């Protein structure tokens, strides 16, 4: 069954600290993996996208890693800011079939001053 | 802002009614995908339209249908509304139907079914 699981479900950190969010998937055939940031009440915004051959991708203070062998990805946030408070969603795209995108349920991050 | 717009922003319907949600894609994009996001959950893929043709569908019943117009804007229609259809409906546009293309999401339409 094609699934994307994210952990933790929620996370609270202090401003300036680093954190790492996890994504495990059982999606096949694999095409790509994306991380999105979704502010409350708004649509998701793309942070990174990685294909099978990419191990890491950075976007400012966000760094995503992908291990296609173990089917795991992580999103590392460096020097967190209050504006990082949001849900972070991992999405795996399939290379074929009608179910194109499998979304995780997200990790809700709260950054405190 | 992504350039993807959706209307209306909020909508209240009663069970059994029909609803039409609209999405205008970003300029230059020919692909629109629709998603349903229940409260506290990740989005669920409904279907995708590429150049006016359905190009993939998730696990949603036939009462969820869609259209894409020659200007690549799109509609999502839901018939015989059920209470569980209450959710945030998101559309996303991309520049092609290719899997690796970045999708740009609109702000969503929040539907409440009473």
C-alpha closest to that of B102 among B33, B1, B41? B33
Give chain A's residues under pLDDT 70: 97-99
* Cis ω for the linkage preceding B8 (within 30 of 0): yes
Supply the pLDDT for residue B40.
83
Supply the pLDDT for residue B3.
87
Task: Let me know: does B2 contact B26? Beta carbons within 8 Å.
Answer: yes
B65: tokens are 């249908």
**Per-position DSSP letters for A69-107, written without gaps between them:** TTTEEEEEE-S--GGG-EEEEEEEEESSSS--EEE---E
Supply the pLDDT for residue B67.
95
Supply the pLDDT for residue B99.
57
pLDDT at B1 > cutoff 70: no
Enter the DSSP assignment of B4.
-
B71: tokens are 């200007």
Which residues in chain A have their CB less than 8 angstroms from residue B10's CB? none
User: A13 vs A75, A79, A81, CA distance in Å?
Assistant: 15, 11, 10
Phi, psi angle pair for A69, to nearest 5°: -70, -45
Task: Let me know: does A19 contact A105? Beta carbons within 8 Å.
Answer: no
Q: Is B35 within 8 Å of chain A by CB?
A: yes
Surface of B (36-55) touching A: CB under 8 A: 40-45, 48
Split at pLDDT 50, 70, 90, the class of B80 is very high
A-interface mutation test, from B33, B42, B108, most A Cβ less than 10 A away: B42
Supply the pLDDT for residue B98.
63
With left for phi above 0 and alpha for psi between -120 and 50, is residue B82 left, alpha or beta? beta
Q: What is the mean pLDDT of residues B86-107?
A: 84
Closest chain A C-alpha to B96 CA, distance in angstroms: 13
Q: How far is it, in rounded angstroms, from Cα A54 to Cα A39?
A: 27
């Amino acid at each position: 069954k094609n699934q994307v699981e994210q952990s933790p479900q929620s996370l609270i950190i202090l401003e300036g600290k680093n954190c790492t969010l996890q994504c495990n998937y059982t999606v096949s055939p694999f095409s790509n993996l994306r991380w999105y940031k979704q502010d409350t009440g708004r649509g998701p915004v793309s942070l990174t996208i990685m294909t099978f051959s990419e191990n890491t991708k950075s976007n400012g203070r966000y760094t995503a890693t992908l291990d296609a062998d173990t089917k795991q990805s992580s999103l590392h946030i460096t020097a967190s800011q209050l504006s990082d408070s949001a849900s972070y969603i991992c999405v795996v795209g399939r290379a074929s079939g009608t179910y194109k995108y499998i979304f995780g349920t997200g990790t809700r991050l709260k950054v405190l001053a | 802002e992504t350039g993807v717009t959706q209307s209306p922003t909020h909508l209240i319907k009663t069970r059994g009614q029909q609803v039409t949600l609209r999405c205008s894609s970003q300029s230059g994009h020919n692909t629109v995908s629709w998603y349903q996001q229940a409260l506290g959950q990740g989005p669920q893929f409904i279907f995708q339209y590429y150049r006016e043709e359905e190009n993939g569908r998730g696990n949603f019943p036939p009462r969820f249908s869609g259209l894409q117009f020659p200007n690549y804007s799109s509609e999502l229609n839901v018939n015989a509304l059920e209470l569980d259809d209450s959710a945030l409906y998101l559309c996303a546009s991309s520049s092609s139907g290719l899997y690796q293309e970045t999708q740009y999401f609109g702000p969503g339409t929040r539907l409440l079914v009473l």
